[in-house]
């Protein structure tokens, strides 16, 4: 496994749509393992392909319940509403308020290409929305109703 470089704000790859994964090989497995390791090392809860310079529809998530590997993920359902405070490993130190669905149903593939579905609420639903947005070149700042002020950031700590 290897830690990869996390792409930061200002790199165009963060604003581009990602291509679907069509080949489920050892290289994909390696990418997913590297993404999980990179995400953990950076203390993140989610990471998307473009954040490690790969324009493919791959996401890793870990909200403390184990690593989820999501290849070609898509929403089957989104419902409800929640207000979230979001940050992003590509925008260190910046946080904003977003409105996201409170409940989502997701279909994705695993590293072998097997399709699976799951439902998520609250924080996990929020993380799915944030990460899947990355695959469409959408960063959280464009979703943010407003960014947090320096005083509010102090209170987050």
Least distance to Ni ion from the beta carbon of 112, Å? 26
Q: For residue 103, what are the contacts with CB-CB under 8 A and spacing of at least 6?
A: 77, 78, 79, 80, 119, 120, 121, 125
Nearer to Ni ion, 115 or 142 (CB): 142
CA–CA separation, 120 and 109 (whole Å) = 16
Name which of 96 and 101 has its Cβ closer to Ni ion: 96
Surface-to-core class of residue 77, CB atoms within 10 Å of its CB (0-12 exposed, 13-18 middle, 19+ buried): exposed
Closer Cβ to Ni ion, 8 or 112, answer by number: 8
| Cα atoms found within 13 Å of the Cα of residue 58, Cβ hemisphere only | 27
Nearer to Ni ion among residue 24 and residue 55 (C-beta): 55
Interacting residue ranges for Ni ion, rule: CB under 5 A: 88
Rounded Cα–Cα distance for residues 132 and 112 (Å): 20
| Residue at shortest CB range from Ni ion | 88
Report, in Å, the least distance between residue 139 CB and Ni ion: 7
Catalytic residue among 65, 119, 131, 152: 131
Least distance from C-beta 32 to Ni ion, angstroms?
A: 17
- Three-state secondary structure along 7-37? CCCCCHHHHCCCECCCCCCHHHHHHHHHHHH
Q: Note if 131 is an active site residue.
A: yes
Smallest distance, Ni ion to C-beta of residue 25, A: 26
**Cα within 13 Å of Cα(106), Cβ side:** 25
Catalytic residues: 131
């Amino acid at each position: 496994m290897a830690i990869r470089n996390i792409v930061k704000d200002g790199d165009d790859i963060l604003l581009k749509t990602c291509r679907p994964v069509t080949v489920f090989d050892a290289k994909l497995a390696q990418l997913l393992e590297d993404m999980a390791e990179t995400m953990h090392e950076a203390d993140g809860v989610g990471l998307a392909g473009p954040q490690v310079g790969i324009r493919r529809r791959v996401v890793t998530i870990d909200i403390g319940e184990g690593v989820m590997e999501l290849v070609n993920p898509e929403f089957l359902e989104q419902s409800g509403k929640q207000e979230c405070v979001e940050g992003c490993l590509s925008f260190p130190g910046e946080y904003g308020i977003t409105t996201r669905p409170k409940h989502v149903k997701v279909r994705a593939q695993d590293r072998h290409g097997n399709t699976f579905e799951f439902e998520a609420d609250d924080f996990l639903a929020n993380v799915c929305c944030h990460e899947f947005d990355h695959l469409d070149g959408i960063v959280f700042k464009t979703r943010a109703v407003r960014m947090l002020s320096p005083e509010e950031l102090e209170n987050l700590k």
